Structure 1
Amino acid sequence: MERIVRILKEQGEGAITAVCSTLKIPMFTPVELGFLAEYTKTMSPFAKALDVLQGEANVQMGWLVPTITLLQVKLQRLCISSKSCRSLIEALLAGLEKRFGQMLTDPELIAAAILVPKFKTCWTSDECVLKLGLDYIKSHLKEQVVVNEGGDTYHSSEEDFFSAIKQSSSQENTKQLETYLGCPGDTTDVLKSFPAVCCLSLRLNTALPASAACERLFSTAGLIFTPKRARVDSKNFENQLLLKLNKGFW
């Protein structure tokens, strides 16, 4: 369908007519061509969002909320000008709300999105949503300070004298967050400059691994996983697996 619309844009309606004549199939009417163009325009952002969420490149949890939020915005804009696909757009929006509605207001998922340098706070203009995520981040940055200090077994009445040190550690983490949000960089290397923020980002953005990679490993390894090879150490196992995967080059 997208190919038909592309031919229509690049070569004109005559090219589509010539293809239909050659294949001896009924011609597309102008109304049908108009519908195909609008349908492709409507489904394009949906297809791109699926590619992002189902891909293996960007697997952090922080990609979920911005992707769905921006998809909703794009569909809402299309709904205003749509002539033939308005009911389809409304159904897509209703489905997104039903499936992801609660996730879009989950403080942990919002915080995960903010801690992805590509997004930070620029993916939505809803201050209430951003506040949920920022409050979550700030509270957990403070918890990191408490956990780090919890390992100290020294307790006495004089520890209040050093309370300012604890406050300065908490303030340092908060300052890291503010500096991170104001940093123009959008790559993951940015996080290396902010240890406390980086630690929290890793914890929130590390999703549960899919079983597909493990299944591919078992299907590829074959005889390497038989009981006869049970005593193979990890180094030899890795070498055998690499040799089998690259046997076509030897």
Structure 2
Amino acid sequence: MTASKDGSSRNTLQSELAPRDMTVTEEDVEPELSEFTTPVSPLPATERQESICAWIWDGCSMLEQQLKKKAIKTRFAEVLESEDAVLAAVTLPKFKLRWLRTQDRKDKAKASLLAECRKLVLDQDQQAGTSTSTPTCHQSRDSAIEDEFFSFEDEDDTSSTAESEVTDYFKSGAQEIDSLNGFALIKKISLRYNAATPSSAPVERLFSLGKLVITPKRNRLSDQKFEKLLVLRYNHWFNS
């Protein structure tokens, strides 16, 4: 009885220690893989890629706009900070103070226009005084100096006249250029800063440069080609 038990245990041990076939077939693995494998759709990944591309594109477009704004400010900084250019734009009814973004710049432009109007009123008063006054022997030099020293009301009238016209001008909603006829002082300032001085010098330069473009060998140039060559020649002459 004991010998039979020992023999059976020996056979079991030998069967466990015997080499086994480790080959794994597809049929053995497929049931296990089916538990972990789920169908994956490519749409979520595609949508995510599109959202990332859109985000990158928006960032690039914003950066491009910022670079353009910075380039414009850098290129035209001298013009934008010029008081003459600001007065030229402010005295046009179509623009006034609408194009200025900050309140500080609006206040500065309004103060500059008010100062110009006061100068015009003073000049008009001086011209009117010199044209109407006649030299008399009865008025002494001391009395004239005294009258000029105590002329407070004239300065107040000058300030109030200029300030009222500037205030009415900015309150007016008219955008036509003809509306300047109701503001005499501002009209004079607008004509001073917006009317270019006529000169024939640039046209004469173009005619002189045109002789260098039209040569005997270029007698069949079209109008468009001639204009392009003339502009290129003028830019080369101007830059040099």
| TM-score scaled by length of structure 1 | 0.47
Q: Which is higher, the Rg of structure 1 or of structure 2?
A: 2
Q: Greater RCO between the two (CA within 8 Å, min separation 6)?
A: 2
| TM-score scaled by length of structure 2 | 0.48
